[in-house]
Structure 1
Amino acid sequence: MGQDNTSHSGGPGYDELVPSRYALRVGEIDVMVVSDGIISISAEAMATNADPAVRSAWLHERLQPEVMDWALNEVVVRSGDRTILIDSGLGLEAPSFPKTGRWSSRLEAAGIDLADVTDVVLTHMHFDHVGGLLVDGVQDQLRPDVRIHASAAEAEFWQAPDFSRTAMPGAMTDMIRSAAKRFLAQYGSKLQTFETDAEVAPGVVVTRTGGHTPGHSVVRLASGGDRLTFVGDAVLPHSFEHQEWHNGFEHDPEEAVRVRTRLLRDLAASGEPLLGTHLPFPSICRVAAVGNGYRWVPALWNY
């Protein structure tokens, strides 16, 4: 539509024409999905092992071009006395992506004070998940005792990353390597690593899955009878119908297939909703089994 994404009504505060945050509750846990905008990805990078004709047909059915826009979503969780950021968006690490990098300003607009954050959980250390923490001034706003949770396998991998099984352009690997190196230099002393899983706060558990990166993790929320899983990059827009497609950013494509197939199977069986980093904002959906595959069923917004 080409409209500016800001209202000019003159109302107070950060007044957006298009919402960039969505709040919900999981039992007694408060959850807010925050949009960091969108990133563009080529169809080839989206599914490197797909038959080009099948891939083009999938895009055509969804009225999508060969370079498509993906959402970039992060999550804020409040459980007990803990305020938890799950991932931090792209920040300003890649200014060539002009439609993103709004994470910190949108947190502020949502009333989230970085000084109140007790914990940060990283699903993995790709640049669009740690970039917000690298924006000038963000580290100074965080409390000195903030805890940053990531799997031990993830922290170890980025000490000397191996891109031999990915299919990214060379410039992209340099960008990703640089962001992870900067992140570890700035925040390495605050890392609290785990092997398999860790309870970050009451009802908030981060679990390593591997696949997308060696230490990629998901975050499961549980309170009362309610459940929700933030799947990070384990499930992508095409994953419901084509779990077998390899994404160019996956460091172990075969394991990534096994991880998302298992997640989709379990979520379809339980009926539990999920959130995904790159699913259309606010990305809350359920998984329905259809034949040998799955279908993404968007949740209704609650007002």
Structure 2
Amino acid sequence: MSLDTSYPGRPGSDELVPSRYALRVGEIDVLVVSDGVLSLPGAMLGHNADPAARAAWLEDMFLPPDVLEWALNVVVVRSGSRTILIDAGLGADPDLNLPRAGRTVQRLEAAGIDLASVTDVVLTHLHMDHIGGLLINGVRDRLRPDLRIHLAAAEAKFWENPDFSRVSMPPGFPDALRRAAKRFLNEYDSQMRPFETDYEVTPGVLVHRTGGHTPGHSVVRLASGGDRLTFAGDAVFQVGFEHPDWYNGFEHDPEEAARVRVRLLRELAANRESLVATHLSFPSVCHVAVDGDVFRWVPGPWEY
């Protein structure tokens, strides 16, 4: 199967912009992979915020006022004999115009990672930009038959009859999210390994359900040799450092999501561990500083 890893309109197979970033957490190998970017309305950053305050924040951050390019990151963890894919990117939905994302599969291959080598998949939640890569035609046939997919039981339960009454999404997204989650649960039911609150995938790789963003939203905590890193999924967005009380448009329980965000940021600031999150600018590796009730995103030094 031939896969083109170049950007549309650019010649050749080499991408000019880096799309993968490797680091180590003790003895654990970590690879952050960019699935691309999502073009979404700026109001999604905080639909409960005063529009003038939101516009001022965007201007202060040198960001456009209307449509933002949201990063979309996934992570590959290699520990011992296990190769663990954390989330799977957007894939492709013909009803949504998101042409600059959905690149996880080809970028894994460009990094030399065969889909058949993946032993486990951890899903932070079932929004389509976290599961869509596994719904691309032909992908399931290339995965190993004994693949284990770890997901909070509360997340699978939620998507049987999802509640969208508290979200603030662009038109078309609720239907697309329902469709993707239903299809995923149907196609991968036999490989699901649901957990209640915490699950250790392998020593040093712990999945913890936080709830908030969705009822079963989870984060992944890595720990080895005194080093620690958390993949926070959608618990933290760029604006969430300075304004953790702003509600993201994709949060199904925005009040609880804000509480989860504050607790997690306070913990990460206290123990000084590294943070990676789905929608922080690639490669997103950073630390959290805190001053009173305001947090600060401190980008990690690039490890050449």
TM range, smaller chain: over 0.9
Pair 210,114 (structure 1): closer, same or farther in 2 beyond 3 Å: same
Partner of 1:128: 129
- For the residues of structure 1 that align with 2:23 and 2:120, how far apart are their CA atoms? 20
**Matches of 2:138 and 2:286, distance apart in 1:** 34
Cα distance change on mapping 1:55 and 1:195 into 2, 3 Å:
same
Q: Please say if residues 6 and 18 of structure 1, whose CA atoms lie closer than 8 Å, have aligned partners that are also in contact.
A: no
- Residue 197 of structure 2 is aligned to residue 208 of structure 1: no
Please identify, of 230-239 and 164-173, the stretch whose mean Cα deviation from structure 2 is larger: 164-173
**Identity over aligned pairs, percent:** 65
Equivalent position amino acid for 2:162 in 1: P
In 2, the alpha carbon distance for the partners of 1:130 and 1:105 equals 15
Is the CA contact 1:87–1:121 (under 8 Å) kept in the aligned structure 2?
yes
Letter in 2 for 1:86: I
Q: Is the 8 A contact 2:7 2:15 kept in 1?
A: no
**What is the CA distance between 1:4 and its match in structure 2?**
5.7
Q: Deviations over 1:146-203 (max 9, x none)?
A: 0000000001111111111111234110000000011011101111011001000120
SS at 2:89 equivalent: coil
Report the CA distance between 1:64 and its aligned residue: 1.1
Q: Contact 1:218–1:231 (CA<8 Å) still a contact in 2?
A: yes
Please give the per-residue CA displacement for 1:36-80, whole angstroms capped at 9, x wherever unaligned. Answer: 000012122221100011000000111211211110000000011
Q: How far, CA to CA, are the matches of 1:26 and 1:6 in structure 2? A: 37
Match of 1:171 in 2: 172
Q: TM-score, normalised by structure 2?
A: 0.95
1:298 aligns with 2:302: no
Question: Is the CA contact 1:5–1:17 (under 8 Å) kept in the aligned structure 2?
Answer: no
Does the Cα contact within 8 Å between 1:82 and 1:118 map onto a contact in 2?
A: yes
Q: Distance in 1 between matches of 2:143 and 2:9?
A: 28
Per-residue deviation at 1:215? 0.2
Structure 2 match to 1:60: 59
Give the distance between the partners of 1:237 and 1:42, measured in 2 at CA. 14
1:160 and 1:136, CA in 2 relative to 1: closer, same or farther beyond 3 A?
A: same
1:111 offset after TM fit, Å?
A: 0.5
* Superposition RMSD in Å: 1.5
Other structure's SS at 2:241 match: coil
2:192 is matched by which residue type in structure 1?
Answer: L
Query: What is the DSSP-based 3-state SS (H/G/I as helix, E as strand, rest coil) of the residue aligned with 1:212?
Result: coil
Partner AA of 2:54 in structure 1: R
Distance 1:225 1:74 in 2: 24
AA aligned to 2:83 is T
Deviation, structure 1 residue 292: 2.1
Q: Which amino acid aligns with 1:175?
A: A
Between the aligned partners of 1:191 and 1:75, the Cα distance in structure 2 is: 19
In the alignment, the residues of structure 2 paired with residue 194 and residue 173 of structure 1 have an alpha-carbon distance, to the nearest angstrom, of: 25
Bigger shift: residues 285-294 or 171-180: 285-294
- Secondary structure of the 1:302 match is coil
Report the secondary structure of 1:238's partner residue: helix
Cα distance, 1:242 vs structure 2: 0.3
Q: Is the 8 A contact 1:80 1:202 kept in 2?
A: no
Q: Deviations over 1:246-291 (max 9, x none)?
A: 0111010000000000000010111101000000000000001134
What does residue 3 of structure 2 align with?
none
Deviation string, structure 1 residues 85-106 (Cα, Å, up to 9, x no partner): 0000001125511111111000
- Unaligned 5+ runs, structure 1: none
- Count of residues in correspondence between the two structures: 297
Give the Cα separation in 1 of the matches to 2:10 and 2:258: 42
Distance 1:57 1:170 in 2: 26
1:165, 1:4 → 2: CA distance? 36
Distance (Å, rounded) in 2 between the aligned partners of 1:122 and 1:206: 9
Alignment correspondent of 2:21: 22
Runs of 4+ in 1 over 4 A off after TM superposition: 3-8
- Distance between the aligned counterparts of 2:241 and 2:9, measured in 1? 33
Q: Which runs of 5+ in 2 are unaligned?
A: 1-5
Deviates more, 1:113-122 or 1:159-168: 159-168
Contact 2:91 2:129 in 1 (8 A): yes
Q: 1:90 aligns to what SS in structure 2?
A: coil
What SS does the corresponding residue of 1:198 show, helix, strand or coil? strand
Q: Which residue of 2 aligns with 1:258?
A: 259
Report SS of the residue matched to 2:239. Answer: coil
Write the distance in 1 (CA, Å) between the matches of 2:121 and 2:42. 32
TM-score, length-scaled by structure 1: 0.95
Are 1:154 and 1:213, in contact at CA under 8 Å, matched by a contact in 2? yes
The answer for the alignment partner of 2:33 in structure 1 is 34
1:88 aligned to 2:91?
A: no
Q: In structure 1, how many angstroms separate the alpha carbons of the residues matched to 2:18 and 2:250?
A: 29
Q: Is 1:219 paired with 2:213?
A: no
